[in-house]
Amino acid sequence: MSEYMDFFARLGQETAERKREFLELGRIAGRFPSADTADHGEISIWCSNDYLGMGQHPDVLAAMKRAVDECGGGSGGSRNIGGTNHYHVALEAELAELHGKEDAVLFTSGYAANEGALSVLAGRIDDCAVFSDQLNHASIIDGLRHSGAQKFIYRHNDCAHLEKLLSGVDPQRPKLVVTESVHSMRGDIAPLAEIAEIAERYGAVTFVDEVHAVGMYGPEGAGIAAQEGLAPAFTVVMGTLAKGFGMTGGYVAGPAVLMDAVRAFARSFIFTTALPPAVAAGALAAVRHLRGSRRERERLAANAAVLHGLLRNRGIPFLSDESHIVSVLVGEDRLCKAMSALLLERHGVYVQAVNAPSVPTGEEILRVAPSAVHEAADIRRFVEALDGIWAELGAPRG
Ligand code: PMP
């Protein structure tokens, strides 16, 4: 019995420490960017990844309702054992077409897509050497770890370092270069043209995580590679349905032979229940809508520019103005948490503090995500609230 108590006590202590990192916030109802909560009443949300508001778009909701009426709730099984529905198949075809690739494979999340696809692509090829950006997402790290392939980590967006590492590896070895396009925490954009050029020179296959870019960038929402005319230069593109497309789920798109390998071997594809048909139907409606409509992308870009301008005027430092992810640099974990708590208590403004280990110590941020469904007046109110608290807590101005 005492061993059990010790086990529980130790885990409980670690958990309590981690839980203190986050504001507890139970959303009860409300449509983004507002919500009702039990403890804080009505709040406005500034850290959602539903960047384009597609989670409430009428076309998306109508498609979901139709699919529920047609197919019911759950998918009933894994993709290979009874769980595949015509919406999954249509969505995979649409995503392949969006990215100009031969095929695409759906997963139940972006995390599962990276974990599954990378563990297969890097792991099923003998002696593969993988080159991965130092700040790549946990799902990329886990996929590469599970692949067992040898890893070479290059400094964030540092092409000279990437090239140095590539040049030190036997030219005969199969190679894979992995990067995000819009970085999830910093909001900066990887130098994709240079990465693709270097990778090609060293004969490396390329994998780009466009989770924070699909829907938001490119003429049809296919992401940064497409926006820069580089889509063909990336062998595999990975995306999520949970951010710009407002649903849940993830995918990879690429050459048929690689996608077949992912379907055949990725454990996070094979050994789990497929997405509910209504989620696939909602995502399909979102992808189709955003291929044909620039309106949401333009609103997001305009709102991000307003936020950048207001923060700059007040000397509130942020990490990058290259995308819609606006990481306000606080640089100290207690200050960051205090700021987040005060914003909620005083102003009903909800933005989570992001502390280590999600970001390096000393780079603690408020990761602010304006969206296409915020109004310019909302952004002004948000910055005024932040500015007041910034002054009160004596945070440094840039
Ligand atoms: N890649 C990156 C860069 C991410 O930021 C995230 C999640 N925020 C994922 C993958 C996982 O995506 P999902 O939330 O769909 O699991």
Residue-level pLDDT at 17: 76
Residue-level pLDDT at 208: 99
Nearest to 265 by CA among 115, 116, 382: 116
pTM score over 0.95: yes
Q: Is the pLDDT of residue 176 over 80?
A: yes
Contact 210 CB / ligand 1 (< 6 Å): no
Laid out side by side, the sheet with 353-354 consists of 326-329, 365-368, 353-354
State pLDDT tens for residues 131-141. Answer: 999 999 999 99
Contact 211 CB / ligand 1 (< 6 Å): yes
State pLDDT tens for residues 48-72. Answer: 999 999 999 999 999 999 999 999 9
Contact 111 CB / ligand 1 (< 6 Å): yes
Asked if the bond preceding 33 is cis, omega within 30° of 0, the reply is yes
**Tokens for 380?**
């002004």
Q: Is the pLDDT of residue 180 over 90?
A: yes
Q: Is the pLDDT of residue 1 over 70?
A: no
Residues involved in catalysis: 243
Residue-level pLDDT at 92: 98
Residue nearest to atom 12 of ligand 1 (CA): 110
Q: How far is the CA of 165 from the centre of ligand 1 (A)?
A: 26
Average pLDDT in the 124-137 region? Answer: 97
Atom of ligand 1 nearest to the CA of 248: 15
Contact 139 CB / ligand 1 (< 6 Å): yes
ipTM over 0.90: yes
Q: Is the pLDDT of residue 98 over 60?
A: yes
* 3 state DSSP class of 292: helix
Q: Is the pLDDT of residue 358 over 90?
A: no
Atom of ligand 1 nearest to the CA of 184: 5
Determine the Cα–Cα distance for residues 264 and 331; give it in Å rounded to an integer: 45
Q: How far is the CA of 268 from the centre of ligand 1 (A)?
A: 15
Residue-level pLDDT at 29: 84
Helix (H) or strand (E) holding 326: strand 326-329
Residue nearest to atom 15 of ligand 1 (CA): 110
Nearest to 198 by CA among 161, 173, 241, 170: 161
Burial class (CB in 10 A: 0-12, 13-18, 19+), 63: buried
Determine the Cα–Cα distance for residues 91 and 281; give it in Å rounded to an integer: 8
Torsion over CA: 163, 166, 168, 172 (sign): negative
Task: Tell me the pLDDT of the chain averaged across its residues.
Answer: 96
Contact 179 CB / ligand 1 (< 6 Å): no
Higher pLDDT, 357 or 201: 201
Contact 114 CB / ligand 1 (< 6 Å): yes
Average pLDDT in the 97-114 region? Answer: 98
Average pLDDT in the 226-244 region? Answer: 98
Determine the Cα–Cα distance for residues 207 and 204; give it in Å rounded to an integer: 10
State pLDDT tens for residues 213-231. Answer: 999 999 999 999 999 999 9
